[in-house]
Structure formats: C-alpha cells, structure tokens
Amino acid sequence: MTQPTNSADGSGGRSPWQVTRSVWYAMFMREAISRTMSDRMGWFWMIFEPLAFTMIMVAIRGFIRGDNLIVGAEFIPWMIVGIMGFFLIREGMMRGLGAVGANSALFAYRQVQPVDPVLVRNFLEGMLRTFVFLLFMVGAELLGVGLFPDGGMRAMLWWVSLWSLGLGLGLIVSVAGSLVAEVGIVVRMVNMPLLILSGVIFPLNHLPHWLLEYIMYNPIVHGLELLRAGFFEGYKVVHGTSATYFWMFTLATLALGLLMHVRFADRLKAK
C-alpha cells in the first residue's frame, strides 16, 4: 500500500509489505485505544447497546405476537443472531465512513495510505463484535436460552462472510463519503429501514411473494439467513436465499471499494 517510489528508497531496505505491516500495527494500537478507552463508558456501551436493543425488541414483539412464524428456531436467539450479524455489517460501514477523515492528519507520513485506517478499523470492529457475541452466547446459555451454534463451522463461516460484506461496504463508503459529503447523510439515513428490510426483527417468511422478490435483492438478508441456518439446526431459511448471490455481491463490493481507494488515494490524502 505504499508508493512505488518508496521501494527504491533505502530506508533500511524495508519492503512495501513490511512498511504496510508496521503501519497496520501502529494504527491498530491507536484505533484500539481510542475505540475502547477514549469514551468514558466505551466498553459498557459496546455490550449494553445490543443488549438493550434486543430487550426493547423482545418487549415490542411480546405485544405484537407472531413468534410462531419462524420455523426451526426460538424467537429470542433468532433475533439476537440477526441483530449481531446486522450490527457487524452496519458498524463496518459506519466505521469506514469516518475512518479517512479521522485520520487525515496522519497522511503526513507517506507510509500511511487512506485505505489503512479503513482496513484496520474494520478488523478491530469485527474483533470487538465477535468478542461481544461470544459474551452474549455465554450469557444466554447461563440464562437458559440456547444460543450456542448447532453448526459451529458454518456459523463461523457466515460470520466472517458478513464481516467481509461490512468491509466491502466500508471501503466504498469511506471513499464516497469523504469525496461527497452527502453520501454520509444518505448512508446514515438508510440504516434504520435497512434494519427492517434485512429481516432482523420481523421474519420475512410471511411476506407476499411479489414483495419478497424485491427484498431478496438485499444481500444482507441472504447473509443473515445463512448465519441463522448455521446457528439453528433445521432452520428454514427465507425462500430464495442464495449463498452465491451473497458472495458475488460481497466480492463485487470488495473489489469496487479497493479500486476506488487506488483510484482516489491522492484526492483522499489531499482532503
């Protein structure tokens, strides 16, 4: 991720990969501290936010009724898995949005490229979310709610897949949002409807077919359904769920995001 001229420079013969690795290390330490320590209650909110969210949703759904619409899974674990998966993508996207701007001062060091903070932040966010999810699993198990995945490997695979989608979206949004400020507003606006359209809170099974046809264009639905299928043995995914579609979409966003970073690196640094 360094400029080609750098490889010719005799800075102790560090290869571009070595330079990039030390940048990532430095940035990871930096981001980790600011993410967890700078807010007074950083750690608390990281765990409490999804917890509170789940409890509110459970309370609302308690009134509405309709737990029986989900085939092959308990409602609460079903929703926790959905919320965690959705937050993983959403945070990947939102953290990417601010990543370039927040680190612009550091582009004074030519070793640091605009893509570095996005990658590092996404990695860090994923690690934190994974940790929080593990805590939830243990906590739920203690409360007698079965949240351990039935198919561990499949669950992990799809967790990482969702992570990748978050990274891809984060890469695109970080460039677009830095160059065109309005993109940031739109992305924040889309968050809430996306939560519902992705079938995080309400199961999509009972929607009419003509509507489902459109909703299934949203790759997050596919990812979340497949993640749930990994968690609950015998879970019946929404009709039309396709792993191929999800991965095509994810790879496309990753490629597009990286290309945008290559294309606009200079302009991002100059910002």
Partner 1 sequence: MIEINGLYKRYHNHHGSDWVLRDINLSIPKGVSVGLVGRNGAGKSTLLKLIAGMDTPERGEITRNCRVSWPIGLSGGFQGSMTGRQNVKFVARVHGSRYNVEEIIKRVQEFAEIGDAFDEPIKTYSSGMRARLNFGLSLAFDFDVYLSDEATAVGDRAFKAKASKAFKDKVGQASLIMVSHSEGILKELCQAGVYLKDGQATWFDDVNDAIAAYHEETDAARQANGNSSKPAKIEQGSDKEEVTIPEGLTLSQARQQLRQIKDEFDVAKAAFEQAKADDLIPRERKAYGDAFRDARDRLHEARRQVQALTRLRREP
When asked if residue 106 is in the footprint of partner 1 (CB under 8 A), the reply is: yes
Helix H or strand E segment including 163: helix 152-179
For 94-126, give one letter per residue: b (16+ CB within 10 A) or e. bbbbbbbbebeebbeeebbbbbbbbbbbbbbbb
104/205 with CB nearer partner 1: 104
Q: Do residues 185 and 45 touch, judged by C-beta distance below 8 A?
A: no
When asked if residue 47 is in the footprint of partner 1 (CB under 8 A), the reply is: no
Which residue among 12, 144, 193, 234 contacts partner 1 (CB under 8 A)? Answer: 12
14/154 with CB nearer partner 1: 14
97/201 with CB nearer partner 1: 97
38/68 with CB nearer partner 1: 38
Using CA atoms in the order 86, 89, 93, 94, what is the torsion angle rounded to 10 degrees?
40
5/244 with CB nearer partner 1: 5
One-letter identity of residue 210 = W
CA 122 to mean position of chain CA atoms: 7
Give start and end residues of each alpha helix (H) in 15-151. 16-36, 42-64, 75-102, 115-142
Please give the backbone phi and psi of residue 244, each rounded to the nearest 5 degrees, phi first: -60, -45
10/234 with CB nearer partner 1: 10
How far apart CA 248 and CA 205 sit, in angstroms, is 23
When asked if residue 123 is in the footprint of partner 1 (CB under 8 A), the reply is: no
When asked if residue 133 is in the footprint of partner 1 (CB under 8 A), the reply is: no
When asked if residue 17 is in the footprint of partner 1 (CB under 8 A), the reply is: no
Closest separation between CB of residue 271 and partner 1, Å? 12
Residues binding partner 1: number (CB under 8 A)? 35
Closest separation between CB of residue 113 and partner 1, Å? 11
63/109 with CB nearer partner 1: 109
Closest separation between CB of residue 4 and partner 1, Å? 10
Closest separation between CB of residue 30 and partner 1, Å? 5
The one-character DSSP state at 238 is P
When asked if residue 35 is in the footprint of partner 1 (CB under 8 A), the reply is: no
Please provide the DSSP assignment of 97-130 as one string. Answer: HHHHHHTGGGGGSTT--THHHHHHHHHHHHHHHH
Q: Where along the sequence are the contacts to partner 1 (CB under 8 A)?
A: 3, 5-6, 8-12, 14, 18-19, 22-23, 25-27, 29-30, 33-34, 38, 102-112, 266, 269-270
